[in-house]
Chains A and B, each alone.
Chain A
Amino acid sequence: MLSLFSPNDYTLIAVILGLPLLGAFVNGVWGKRLGKDAVRLMALTAVGVSFVASAAAFIGLWQLTELHKGEHVKLAWTAWEWMHTTGGTQNASVPIEVRFSIDQLSGVMMLVVTGVGFLIHLYATSYMADDDGFARFFAYMNLFIFAMLVLILGDNLPLLFVGWEGVGLCSYLLIGFWYENAANAAAGKKAFIANRIGDFGLLCAMFLLVHYTGALDWNGIANGAASLVHPGEQWRVHVWPLGGGQYTGMLHFLQPKNPVTISAATAVGLALLLGCTGKSAQIPLYVWLPDAMAGPTPVSALIHAATMVTAGVYLICRMSFVFVLSPFTMMVIAIVGAATALLAATIALAQNDIKKVLAYSTISQLGFMFLGVGVGAFTAGFFHVFTHAFFKACLFLCAGSVIHAMHSRIHDGDKSQDIRNMGGLRKWMPLTHWTFAAATAAIIGLPFTSGFFSKDEILYRAFVDHTVNPRAGEGLLAKAGVYEPPAWLGPALYWVALAAATLTAFYMCRLYFVTFWGEFRGWTIGRPSLLAKQELAHDHEGEHEHHEDLATPGYPPHESPWQMTVPLILLAAFSVFAGWLNPGFHIPKQPMDHWLEPVFQAASEGAVLFAHGNDAKWAEAMTWPLALGGLSAFAVGTAVAYWMYVVRRGEPARRIAEAFPALYRLVLDKWRVDELYENTVVAAVDSLAETAAAVDKTIVDGILARLTSLVVAAAGTILRAFQNGVVHVYAAMMVLGLAAVGWFFAVPHPNATVADAGNDDYVITAAPGLGYAYRWDADGDGKFEKDAFGGDTTLKLHIEPGKSQNVRLEVKNSFGLVAGKTIHVERPKPPAEQSASL
């Protein structure tokens, strides 16, 4: 593989990217005409071949890594040079190219995206088979794969941003896929707007980076990263007073004693974090993800479980070498992650919609990933991304399979997803059941499944790790104050994450037991023989009975076709066994860790220090106690769920809900965060918009538009009176003009120009005219130089500086009319002498 393309011009990347784009284009433009079979073929081929190419590229990368023995290698391909900007300390020109690169990190991600993407495409060909928008769906899905690949493979931040926006766009299009329903369209809008708020952060980070480090591609930023933590005052970002000015005059009271500054690394980190919270649905921008369940289930699986929402974590991993320069930011990331994990887990406890539970579960697991990268365990966090892709996609697809089965008789969208209408499905949907069970086992951390390894690693590292600036001890930086997270942070994070893990186990098992065990609550299942007779009797009725009487016996929920179950099986297998790629527990030679080591080298160089008197030995000793904690979380959660929902058939849950109705309502309403946003932020924007609308209507429309039109109309009415069509009136108007012109010619016009002839002399020249004769009075005393009117048109004057003189000119024309004008001539004083310079 390596021999086919050179590492710096790895054109296979063009194939990986180009095929989904082609698929999107073909399906989008000609999809309807081509028909469902062709669309299916195009979409599957596009993603499938892209996956094969990705695998080939990955093998090539592997070979290259072997060749270079553990360096951070890349397979790169430059498409074209996009633009230039200026940046850096010397305001040098920074080129931005459309350049894609596969390194260890993006290689893994690329395989996940194309592989899981392919499976989900296959699933969707069956799930969406009855939909009218089949071609449109696959066009959007392929476009999404393309955008996601651009995001992952982009070699610089602007290109990543292109992919970032692209996946946001596809998310919007796919969430609102059934756009005739206004709620779906609103959900799409919400997703896009929340993402947009985050994108602002990403843009600010880009601006800061190009200014401080003078580059926007990964290599360049890494090279210039030192300038992000420069202790010099002018290198820091001023927070208060904002921008580094001074509050004077009236605002003097706002001036702080010591200006508050943060390092550029912190500023960049926090800005990037804002972007990541938007894309990866963390606090405060997670509100769009539950609403996004309005889209079709394959969309939820692909975008909101496996790939798009992990883009934020990917970005943090990508820019790990920047984040570690700011321990404060790392702390914030970890806290945000842990808080989100716990919050989402609590909300998921009370939800009754199967997809909503999975959505909150996704948010919670993303919180875990953020926690992992926030404490410096980049590999652990990324590994959780990797495993999460498998088991979450599997869970969503199983949910889709269940919904598909429920849809056969329950046609209402909301009711078919309500777990209260399900139950005992394991009897009729064995494949779905076992795959769901496998994925659930992974997510709750059943020992030796993938989720167990990745989650436990995160919990462990949260407790023991301590991120400090790697260059803290060096030279100048020793003088600069570097933020050190408090000692209790690690354990605090651990306990919060543990609580979240327990809740995860609980609600996932709840979901599993309620859906697949117990009695079926959807409709009455009839005996097969009875049903066959019914079928014959009701043969003449139409196939689509929209008013189903669910009391009449019907067929049991059916298993899904092979296109849906094969991906389920594959994903379940991965979710169970993929964990062995990075088992943790200090087992040497962990594949994933080793593979990703070169990428996180800069981050791990001294970034993980055990401070406060702890050291590596202590960390190793803590391994088993912490693992026990994780195991107990799993055990407790599962046991309680089993007891509550299988043994006691949900009775305790109902009693708790009745005992604390307000609390239950609050949790069911997602802690009313959406309503909070609605009433504060959205209401503020709305009132601003309404003010603007009122101003527009009254001032702009009312006054400006109406007034000007009235003025014009009035002027028109006046002018129209002159146009009465009678020639005489027009002639009279002409006479008026003629008389004015005649007057102008009959009357003499005295005019003169004053020219400076130098040496304090002035020359005054009178304006010429037909038959004019001139008479000058040079000193304004009333006596003319020559009493007779003559032909001399110029007069010379000499005026001392600072003095002035009035000159009178009289003009007589051939008709004998005389007119005069007084001209005031002044010589200004020269500027005062310069005082001797000090």
Chain B
Amino acid sequence: MIPIEHYVILSAILFLLGGIGFLVRRNTLVTLMSIEVMLNAANLALVAFNRSRTWHPVVSGAPGQSHTGQVFAFFIIAAEAAEVAVGLAIVLSMYRLRRTVRSDEADLLKN
């Protein structure tokens, strides 16, 4: 079996890439996609831990088998879908007003 650390390190690398992309790129769409990358990395870590550890089950499920991590990842996907929808709506709004998708054009709060 693949040791859990492989998955964790992979998740860390993906998170790192996503984070760097978010901080460095100025295109708002790319930023949003980088956020997706980061969330996927987190999902991966969650599911990996769910598989590797034997958590004490809370109420239901067979003893020694708990799906908490997977359910958590499920909800992350749901919330994150909502976030993408609203984020893209904002990008479209900004495009309509400023004709640009660059995030450093939106600096009306300067100073």
Contacts and interface: CB of A to CB of B under 8 A. Distances in A.
Interface of A: 720, 723-728, 731-732, 735
Contacts of B106: 725-727
B62 interface: no
A833 B103 CA distance: 78
Interface in B90-111: 103-104, 106-111
Interface string B1-39: 000000000000000000100110010000000000000
13 contacts: A724-B110, A725-B106, A725-B107, A725-B109, A725-B110, A725-B111, A726-B104, A726-B106, A726-B107, A728-B26, A731-B23, A732-B23, A735-B19
Q: 3 closest pairs, A vs B, by CB?
A: A725-B107, A725-B110, A725-B109
Contacts of A725: 106-111
Contacts of B110: 723-725
Contact of B107 (A720, A724, A731, A732): A724
A33 to B, nearest CB: 59
Interface residues of B, number: 12
A727 B31 CA distance: 11
A720 B19 CA distance: 26
Interface of B: 19, 22-23, 26, 103-104, 106-111
Nearest to A725: B107
A725 B110 CA distance: 4
Contacts of B22: 731
B111 A724 contact: yes
A731 B25 CA distance: 12
A723 B23 contact: no
Given A726-B107, A732-B23, 14 more contacts: A723-B109, A723-B110, A724-B107, A724-B110, A725-B107, A725-B109, A725-B110, A726-B103, A727-B103, A727-B106, A728-B23, A728-B26, A728-B103, A735-B19
A728 B111 CA distance: 15
A745 to B, nearest CB: 15
Contacts of A720: 111
Contacts of A732: 23
Contacts of B104: 726-728
B21 to A, nearest CB: 12
A354 B42 CA distance: 106
B94 to A, nearest CB: 11
B91 to A, nearest CB: 12
A494 to B, nearest CB: 90
Contacts of B111: 720, 723-725
Nearest to A717: B111
A729 to B, nearest CB: 9
A125 to B, nearest CB: 72
Contacts of A735: 19, 23
Nearest to B102: A726
Contacts of B107: 724-726
A137 to B, nearest CB: 63
Contacts of A728: 23, 26, 103-104
Nearest to B104: A726
